[in-house]
Structure 1
Amino acid sequence: MKTWKLISGILSIVLAAFVLFQSMAVGLGNSLSENGEASGSAGFLVAILLIAAGITAIVVRKSVKKGAHIALIIMYGLAAIVGFTMAGSYEDLKIWAGWCLICAILAVVAIIKSKNITEEDK
């Protein structure tokens, strides 16, 4: 799971840059067309959560405690919920939300695996 945390953390930070720039463009388009959508702002929030979760994943990659995994689940899960619910006409946001959902699920798997490892050590 250490490798997964490192790779997902790096990819999340890199993807956050794409999401951030796309969100700025979508937000500008939303304000110019006055369509009332908030998908640009939602993308910005997803990008911030991706950066935070990516940094957290890299920093706690060697940890087997539940707190680090729970933090990842909350950040990735919140980003996925925001991305899926507020995407509007910004369809790429659903792709980034899908990445967040995959990472949240893998964090749940990491909790289960770390629980099994600690039980075997007893």
Structure 2
Amino acid sequence: MKTWKLVSGIISIVLSVFVVFQSMMAGLANALEESGQSSGSAGLVVSICMLCGGIVSIVSRKNNSKGTNIALIILFGLATLTGFVLAGNYSDLYIWSFWCLINTILAIISLRKGIRN
């Protein structure tokens, strides 16, 4: 699980940069269209959660404690829920939310493996 935490942390941090810029553009498009959607703001929340989850994942890669895995589940789970519920016309947010869902599932597996050992 050390490799998963390092790789997913690096990928999450890099992807969060792309999500921030896409979210800003989606928010700008929502404002110009006056559509009333909040997909740009949801993308910013997903990006912040991805960045924080990536940092926690990298920092905790050598430590398989319950607390760090629960923190990863909460951060990536919040990003997943926010992205899938509030995506609206920002369809790329479904892709980033799916990445967060994968990380959430792997954090749950890591938590369960840690409890068994």
TM-score normalised by L of structure 2? 0.98
Matched residues in 2 for 1:45 and 1:78: separation? 9
Query: 1:113 Cα shift?
Result: 1.2
| Unmatched 5+ stretches in structure 2 | none
Query: Runs ≥4 in structure 1, deviation > 4 angstroms?
Result: none
Deviations 1:39-91 (A, max 9, x none): 00000110011000000000001112100000000000000000000000000
Percent identity (aligned): 56
Matched residues in 2 for 1:80 and 1:5: separation? 18
Matched residues in 1 for 2:26 and 2:65: separation? 39
Deviations 1:14-56 (A, max 9, x none): 0001100000000000000000000000001100110000000
2:89 maps to 1:92? no
Matched residues in 1 for 2:20 and 2:71: separation? 22
Which structure has the bigger radius of gyration? 1
Question: Superposed, which structure 2 residues align to 1:17-96 within 5 Å?
Answer: 17-96=17-96
Q: CA RMSD in A?
A: 0.5
TM-score normalised by L of structure 1? 0.94
